[in-house]
Amino acid sequence: MAFASVNPGDDFFWIYSPNLRGFQESIIWRFTLGLCWYLLHLFVTLVHAGSSLIHALVCYSISSGLLRKYWNLDLSNLKYLGIVVDSEQAKNTVKIKRLLHWLSSTGVKNVILYDMEGVLKKSIGSDHSSSDSKNTHFEGMVIELLSFSDNKEGVAKAASFLCSKYLKSNPAVSDRVEPVFTEADMDDALMAVGCGGPEPDLLLVYGPARCHLGFPAWRMRYTEIIHMGSLKTMKYGAILKAIYDFSKKHQNYGT
C-alpha cells in the first residue's frame, strides 16, 4: 500500500488518550477499521447496483423505441467517434463486430478504434484489409485502428522528425538558435511519421473503469470521455444515449 507518510489513526488517539496508542496496533482496532471499510464498500456497491439498474431500464426503453427523442440523432457535431476497449475484452471479435454494426446503424461515419495491446489492429485490421494500411472499412464506415504505441512513441517519433529537421537546417552548431516549434509543426510532424489524425469528439470507454488507457494524448484535447461499462454487457440503448447526450452538449473551449 502506498500509504505511509501519515496515519490519521495516530492523531485520533494521540489527542484523546496517548496511553491507547498500543491499542490501535491491536487486532481489535484493525478489525474494527476493516469492518467499517467493508460496510462502506457494501454501501458503494449497493449504490452502484441501484444506478446500473436504472441505467439498464433507460437503455432498454431507448432501444425498444419508447422514447421519441432518441429516434433521430443529431450527428452534426460528431465527426469522429472514438472507442477504447480493454485489450482482454477486445479479443472477443464477435462482440466488436456487433458493436461496429450498431455504430454503423446510428449513422456514424468515422470511428477510431483503440486498444492498448493492438489486439484490434490484428483482428479487425487483417479482416478488412484495404489499400491504405492504417484505415479499414466496415459497413460504410471508415475505421482507424490505434494502439498504445501510437501515443507516446508516436510523439517521440514526431519529435525526432522535428529535431532532425532543426539540426539539419543549420549545419554550424554555434549558429543555431534555440528551437521553437508550434502545435501546428507538431501536427504536421505527427502526420509525416504516420501517427497523426483527427481528434475524436466523443470517446466511449468499454472497460472496467472510466480510464482512457493511453489513448493518444495529442488527439483528445476536448474529447468527451464516457464510460460504457464492460464490453460483455454492452447495450445498443447506451450508445444511443451517449450520442444523444453528446449532441446536447455545449463546449466553450476555455472561453
Partner 1 sequence: MDIKMKYKRENNSNSRSSIFGRIWFSLRMFLFSVLSFGPMPAHIAFIMDGNRRYSKKHNVKQGSGHNVGFSALISTLQYCYELGVKYVTVYAFSIDNFKRKPEEVQSLMNLLTEKIDEMLEETSVVKEYGIRVNFWGDLNLLTEPVRLAAKKAMAVTAENTGPVLSVCVAYTSTNEILHAVQESCAEKNNSMAVGYSNGRINSSEGLLSVADLEQHFYSASFPEPDIVVRTSGETRLSNFLLWQTSFSHLQNPIALWPEFSLRYLVWSILQYQKAYPSLQEQRIRSKKTH
Q: Applying CB under 8 A, does 66 fall inside the site for partner 1? A: no
The site string for partner 1 over 1-40 (x = CB under 8 A, - otherwise) reads xxxxxxxxxxxx-xxx----------------xx-xx--x
Q: Which is nearer to partner 1, 19 or 131 (CB)?
A: 19
Taking the C-alpha atoms of residue 55 and residue 226, their distance in angstroms, rounded to an integer, is 14
Least Å from the CB of residue 72 to partner 1: 23
Residues 196 and 187: beta-carbon distance below 8 Å: yes
With CB under 8 A as the contact rule, the residue among 60, 70, 102, 166 that binds partner 1 is 166
Q: Applying CB under 8 A, does 42 fall inside the site for partner 1? A: no
Least Å from the CB of residue 145 to partner 1: 16
Neighbour count for residue 190 (Cβ, 10 Å): 23
* Residues between 189 and 248 with contacts to partner 1, criterion CB under 8 A: 207-214, 217-218, 220-227
Segment contacting partner 1 by CB under 8 A, of 91-99, 107-115, 130-138, 174-182 = 174-182
Segment contacting partner 1 by CB under 8 A, of 71-79, 92-100, 168-176, 233-241 = 168-176
Q: Alpha carbon of 47 to those of 42, 50, 241: distances in Å?
A: 9, 5, 21
The DSSP output letter for 179 is: P
Backbone phi and psi for residue 73, each to the nearest 5 degrees, phi listed first: -85, 140
Backbone phi and psi for residue 28, each to the nearest 5 degrees, phi listed first: -65, -45
Q: Applying CB under 8 A, does 78 fall inside the site for partner 1? A: no
What one-character-per-residue DSSP string does 5-20 give?
Answer: S--HHHHHHHHH-GGG
Taking the C-alpha atoms of residue 90 and residue 84, their distance in angstroms, rounded to an integer, is 9
With CB under 8 A as the contact rule, the residue among 23, 61, 176, 191 that binds partner 1 is 176
* Residues between 112 and 141 with contacts to partner 1, criterion CB under 8 A: 116-117
For strand 224-229 and strand 202-206, is the pairing parallel, antiparallel, or unpaired?
parallel
Least Å from the CB of residue 254 to partner 1: 3
Q: Applying CB under 8 A, does 183 fall inside the site for partner 1? A: yes
Least Å from the CB of residue 119 to partner 1: 10
Residues 72 and 62: beta-carbon distance below 8 Å: no
